[in-house]
Amino acid sequence: MCKAASLAAATDATGGGAAGSIYEKLILTNSGSAPCILEGFAGVSLTADANGEPIGEPATRETTTPVTKIELAPGKSAWAEIRYTQAGNYGDCTKTPAAGYRIYPPNDTASLFIPEPHDACSNAGIKLLTITAFQAV
């Protein structure tokens, strides 16, 4: 399985946005020297910094994209789509600044950090993020 220690994470905002949401590709690239398998969903949360606790609810899995087993050769990438819904869409949101995304690769307890400031909602029950299963590039 692909582990955080041998992956690099980035986002690509080519998906645009609509109705108060931003769609981005979460791209994981094998930065190691051996092939690895990436299968399923990343754990994604907004966080105050690279080592901080998650702010608010983690991403909800968007299950319309089928889960596939992807073999990543060194230097190769796979992507999943993140949808971030603007915190201002929720009148009861307690806005808290987040420095970026904490990303847990599928089946891993170590994480990666992508610096990308957003407003988060610190109160429970408001789900700003969704994530799809990873797809081959």
Q: Which positions ≥6 away from 96 have C-beta within 8 Å?
A: 48, 55, 56, 119, 120, 121, 122
Q: What is the mean pLDDT of the chain?
A: 94
Q: How far apart are CA 58 and CA 76, in angstroms?
A: 27
Q: What is the pLDDT of residues 52-93, one digit of tens each?
A: 889 999 999 999 989 999 999 999 999 999 999 999 999 999
Q: Report d(CA 1, CA 131) in Å as an integer.
A: 19
Amino acid 14: pLDDT: 67
DSSP state for residue 75 in the 8-state scheme:
T
The alpha helices in 15-78, defined as continuous H runs, are none
Residues 95 and 119 sit within 8 Å (Cβ to Cβ): yes
Rounded Cα gap, residues 80 and 66, in angstroms: 11
- β-bridge mates for residue 97, sequence order: 119
Q: Nearest CA to 4 among 24, 40, 31, 39?
A: 31
Say what percent of the chain tops pLDDT 70: 95
Residue 21 · residue 88 · CB < 8 Å: no
Domains of the chain: 4-136 (2.60.40)
Could you read off the pLDDT of 103-118 as tens digits, one per residue? 999 999 999 999 999 9
Could you tell me if 23 and 85 are in contact, meaning their C-beta atoms sit under 8 angstroms apart? no
How far is the C-alpha of 24 from the C-alpha of 77, rounded, in Å? 15
